[in-house]
A and B are shown apart, each in its own frame.
Chain A
Amino acid sequence: MKKIATGNKAVAEAVRQAAPGVVAAYPITPQTEIVEQIAEFVTGGLMPTRYIAVESEHSAMAACIGASITGMRTFTATSSHGLLYMHEMTNWAAGARLPIVMANVNRSLGPGWNIWAEHTDALQERDTGWLQVYVSTVQEAYDTILMAFRIAEHNDVLLPVMVNLDGFLLSHIMQPVDTVELGDFIPAIYLPYAIDPKHPAGYGTLTGPDQQFKFRWDIERSMRDSVKVIEETGKDFSKRFGRNYGFTEDYLCDDADVIVVAMGTLGKEAEVAIDLLRKEGIKAGSMRLRWLRPFPKLNLKGKQVVVIDRDYSFGRGGILATEIMAQTKEDLYSVIAGIGGQEVTYDDIAGFVRTRHMGKEFWFGVNAHV
């Protein structure tokens, strides 16, 4: 049934349908609406869930770890400083192979104190072993949360999944969303190494130099195996519910000379810029990256590439641009735009393409090519 909902409410509705055994969370702008709505569902008897209101995000993730280790489906949501406060525990969740699903509402990091959209928060979690996906519409947020549970809990994966949505731009916008009859799309959770509290056993004892690398390699093996699971899950989702999601969303890329690569709402707005450019005779296309981990093979051969980063790694460059440079030899123009919620319109994006300086980096609003 089609309704109008915010990105946050759509995430909460998907979580209600996935019915985790435990949700442990701490509120933070602009994520708060997600956990408020879930708490309302729980107290209203609409979810068979134990909601643990914790005193910090570090504890939220620790509580999810504790619940997940007993084989329970778990969910949490956070943003920005909350996510970084979890950082020690996010590493633990992946290392302990726990399929926790988290919604992260992307927000800048202070100082300056800023509550608006930026991807640097999630990208600082890039190397933790979490799968990461970035969405661009309220519908996609809802659909991706449903898929995230199935992917995380698949026994070829058993890794946590972070679903990212842009602060305010997506968390607070109201758009149509078509909810589904879930049926058996997400199978019952089964963790092969779950701890049974009635028959306690100890895990996680000292791991020596002759063992640690094996556990690390095992995470990487599952990360690679997750590619197939993501594809299968997307296919089954499309078969059941009629909406298609891949690793990227490609718009007019086949015959394009220049391709814009971006994540989140900027990647969606880029499609409007492509329409403008095509009318001017510029053969442009847009490739919106959904999955950052595992990082997909991007088909950019023979194209000029304009990468828009709503993030930055100081002393190196745009994080997405750097990732793409490591994979392709194609000419690349790196644009840093949208930091801390900086307004970026489709006209601006079209401008980046028109005035592209291949091999250069451009900070939008600073107006200097370096």
Chain B
Amino acid sequence: MFEIRIHSRGGQGGVTAARLLAMAALHDGKYATACPFYGAERRGAPIVSFVRIDDKPIKVYSQIRQPDMVVVLDTSVMDTVDVLHGLKKGGRIFINSAGKREFSDFECRNVDLTGIALRENLVVSGSPILNTPVLGALARMGIITAESGKLAIREMFSDERNVKAADAAYKEMSA
């Protein structure tokens, strides 16, 4: 089982990102569950959501304590939240950031999703949309296939700019 924890702020679409990721995994022929952390979510507050992907049905409902991967949609949460908490040794990190970051014991990749969203004019109520471009980045990291990522995005959103943004994130990911 592959377990992912997504860090974002309320309103940035972290829960939708989890949902899209689960939908994409389903298209890949896998089993997946996605859930938010069940608290009192507030706009702007740091939140986490979880995704589990496996080859067999998933029977676990308790929270992910030792994720295989951590996704950070907003680096500002790192000031107050230990996003690496419980991350398995050798675990993987994706950070929405223009600058490359290094963490010992972990493999960290980054793409400037915010820049891509602004470039594609993917902005809702003044906030850049991060939950569709992040699928391109995660496809590049081999978590889902790029094709399934696009299928999932198109199931949920009719605006093709979402797919274009995911494509851009796939291409821009640093090697």
Residues of A within 8 A of B (CB): 2, 4, 116, 166, 168-170, 172-176, 265-266, 268-269, 271-272, 341, 343-346
B contact patch SS? mixed
Closest to B152 in A: A4
- Whether A272 and B35, one on each chain, are in contact in the complex, defined by CB atoms closer than 8 angstroms, is no
Residue total for B at the interface (Cβ-Cβ under 8 A): 19
List, in ascending order, chain B residues with CB within 8 A of A4's CB: 19, 22-23, 26, 32, 34
Residues of B within 8 A of A (CB): 18-19, 22-23, 26, 31-36, 38, 58-63, 65
List, in ascending order, chain A residues with CB within 8 A of B31's CB: 176
Q: Return the contact of B60 from the options A116, A172, A272 (Cβ within 8 A).
A: A272
**Given A173-B33, A174-B34, A176-B31 in contact, is the A269-B59 Cβ separation under 8 Å?**
yes
A343 CA to B39 CA, complexed, in Å = 13
- Name 10 interchain pairs, CB-CB below 8 A, sorted by A: A4-B23, A173-B34, A174-B22, A175-B22, A175-B32, A176-B32, A269-B62, A344-B62, A345-B60, A346-B60
A166 CA to B61 CA, complexed, in Å = 11
Distance from A305 Cβ to chain B, minimum over Cβ atoms (Å) = 21
List, in ascending order, chain A residues with CB within 8 A of B23's CB: 4
Distance from A172 Cβ to chain B, minimum over Cβ atoms (Å) = 6
- Whether B62 and A345, one on each chain, are in contact in the complex, defined by CB atoms closer than 8 angstroms, is yes
A30 CA to B71 CA, complexed, in Å = 27
A265 CA to B41 CA, complexed, in Å = 23
- Whether A268 and B34, one on each chain, are in contact in the complex, defined by CB atoms closer than 8 angstroms, is no
A2 CA to B26 CA, complexed, in Å = 8
- Whether B33 and A175, one on each chain, are in contact in the complex, defined by CB atoms closer than 8 angstroms, is yes
**Given A269-B60, A269-B61 in contact, is the A174-B38 Cβ separation under 8 Å?**
no
- Whether A268 and B59, one on each chain, are in contact in the complex, defined by CB atoms closer than 8 angstroms, is yes
Closest to B36 in A: A172
Distance from A335 Cβ to chain B, minimum over Cβ atoms (Å) = 15
Q: Which interface residue of A170, A172, A174, A341 has the most chain B CB atoms within 10 A?
A: A174
Q: Which interface residue of B26, B32, B35, B63 has the most chain A CB atoms within 10 A?
A: B35
Q: Return the contact of A168 from the options B33, B38, B62 (Cβ within 8 A).
A: B38
